[in-house]
Amino acid sequence: MSADDGADALEFDSGYALGELLDDLGPWSGKPGAALPEGWRWSSLGALATGKARYGVNLPARPYDAGLPRFVRITDIGDDGRLRDDAPVSLSDPGAADYRLKPGDLAVARSGATVGKSYLYRPEDGVCVPAGYLLCVPLAPSRCEPAFVAQWAQSRGYRAWLRSAVRTAAQPNVNASELATLPVPVPPLEEQREVARVLALGDALLAHSGRIIDKLGLVLAALVRDLLSRGIGEDGRIRDPARHPELFRETPLGLLPRAWSVSEAGELLAALKPAMRSGPFGSELRKSDLVAEGVPLLGIDNVDTDAFVPRYRRFVPPHLFQALGRYAVRPGDVMVTVMGTVGRSCVVPDDIGDALSSKHVWTLSFDPERYLPLLASLQFNYAPWVHAHLTREAQGGTIASIRSSTLRSTLLPVPPLAEQRAIAEVLARTRGRMAAERRLRSVRRRLRDALREDLMTGRVRARPG
């Protein structure tokens, strides 16, 4: 596409070649129109909008305040097109009022590794202002059902179009004029609404799973706080400093059991060089070095809260992995995000195989004979003493980051190794329930996605009434 980067108008372009863009969709390969059900037509995102796309605002974020507009960044948008609620931020600048999202606005990431990620604004999300790397398309309810278009922006057809349309200069990006040419299948308006309604039921089921996982996360957070500040006594119960103050002593982390010590995370790392790493940087790894298949390059999207996400989108050739071996990720390593949702952490699984870290993640190799990696990772996710340290040291801007010195100096309580294992065993029960619910949510997501493809192609019709 030849539109220049600065274009900000949504223009209708009827000359797109759908047959080339959607080859992987079976029934939709070939000429536009011929493969669509009777009564459907092809349009473009620009033709379904009320006017120009709006760019978000480039202003600094501030800590979340329910009385202020929520500042929506790319990292705040989940893969399901909904806002994440794990690390919201706000915006206080009065000049941002004109940028507020309105019903029917579709916000689309215009740059970065997750270019094309989208979010349909919902009034129940409160007052929201988009960040600068988002394009906001005002959909016209008289021409389309915005929720239908939002579902299309989660489909295989949309992703196929992105692969063709996105430019990859310094980083993947798409501008407003290019986004305007996105082809959209348009059933009759009533059928669009019915498709959106049916798919919303699947979304609601996934949201229900998410709420269960969130509640289990609260339970896990409470257990981490109690078990890693009070520990487990010889009677198998959590120690009580009120009843047995003689069992505790004052430390830099507050009252802890007398047999425990406190160490910086950097003092608990394995005897590897380097035991803590982030990168590659700059010329060590260029965008042009990435390949379609090879050794996974891990990033923020592979790190969920206490869960490694084995969904690989970036790869390097094996010979480059060997050359960049200092950044290799090993089983049992702790990965911590240092951009976006700062401090989100997980433990690398035993079956990881060859994999490389990226500059958006710190990878730490703990000495398992001194400190269990799981306990370190859980504290990065849930421990208030770690959160306080990271927040105090965080570097500002719309996307925060963490220095290596901040991670190394993070204070951790150190129980005897046998007690660490006992604590991990107790935590395993709640973590197991969370893992089971995550697996159920994954199955539900696959079913929902399959239904979306059927409804969006017309293979299955959602007829009103």
Please, are residues 112 and 23 in contact by the beta-carbon 8 Å criterion?
A: no
Half-sphere exposure of 296 (CA within 13 A, CB side): 16
Count CB neighbours of 350 within 10 A.
Answer: 9
Tokens of 35: 């493969």
Q: What is the pTM of this model?
A: 0.74
Q: What are the extents of the domains in the chain?
A: 18-186, 189-243+416-457, 261-414
Q: Report which secondary-structure segment, H or E, holds 55.
A: strand 54-55
CA 1 from chain centre, in angstroms, equals 29
Q: Classify 261-414 by CATH class.
A: alpha beta
DSSP string computed for 406-462? HHHT-EEEE--HHHHHHHHHHHHHHHHHHHHHHHHHHHHHHHHHHHHHHHHHTSS--
- Domain 18-186 falls under CATH 3.40.50.150: no
The amino acid at 426:
V
pLDDT of residue 166: 79
What is the DSSP-derived secondary structure letter of residue 37?
P
pLDDT of residue 393: 65
Per-residue pLDDT of the chain (465 residues; tens, 9 = 90+): 333 333 222 222 222 233 333 333 344 433 334 478 999 999 999 999 999 899 999 998 999 998 999 999 998 998 889 998 878 999 987 778 789 999 999 999 998 878 999 999 999 999 999 999 999 999 999 999 999 999 999 998 899 898 888 766 557 888 999 999 999 999 999 999 999 999 999 999 998 998 999 999 999 999 999 999 999 999 999 999 999 999 999 999 999 999 999 999 999 999 998 999 998 988 899 888 999 999 999 999 899 999 999 999 999 999 999 999 999 999 999 999 987 677 899 999 999 999 999 998 999 999 999 999 999 999 999 999 999 998 876 554 333 578 889 999 999 999 999 999 999 999 999 999 999 999 999 999 999 999 999 999 898 998 877
Where b means 16+ CB within 10 Å and e means fewer, 444-454 reads bbeebeebbbe
- Reply yes or no: is the peptide bond before residue 280 cis, omega within 30 of 0: yes
209: helix, strand or coil: helix
Please, are residues 150 and 200 in contact by the beta-carbon 8 Å criterion?
A: no
Please, are residues 270 and 366 in contact by the beta-carbon 8 Å criterion?
A: yes
Which residues, at least 6 apart from 442, have a Cβ–Cβ distance to it below 8 Å? none
Relative orientation angle of helices 373-382 and 189-230, to the nearest 10 degrees: 120
pLDDT of residue 342: 75
The amino acid at 442:
S
Which residues, at least 6 apart from 233, have a Cβ–Cβ distance to it below 8 Å? 239, 247
- Domain 189-243+416-457 falls under CATH 1.20.1340.10: no
Where b means 16+ CB within 10 Å and e means fewer, 359-382 reads bbbbbbbbeeeebbbbbbbbbbbb
One fold for both 18-186 and 261-414? yes
DSSP string computed for 302-338? GEETTEE------EE-HHHHHHTGGGB--TT-EEEE-
The β-bridge relationship of strands 62-63 and 105-109 is unpaired
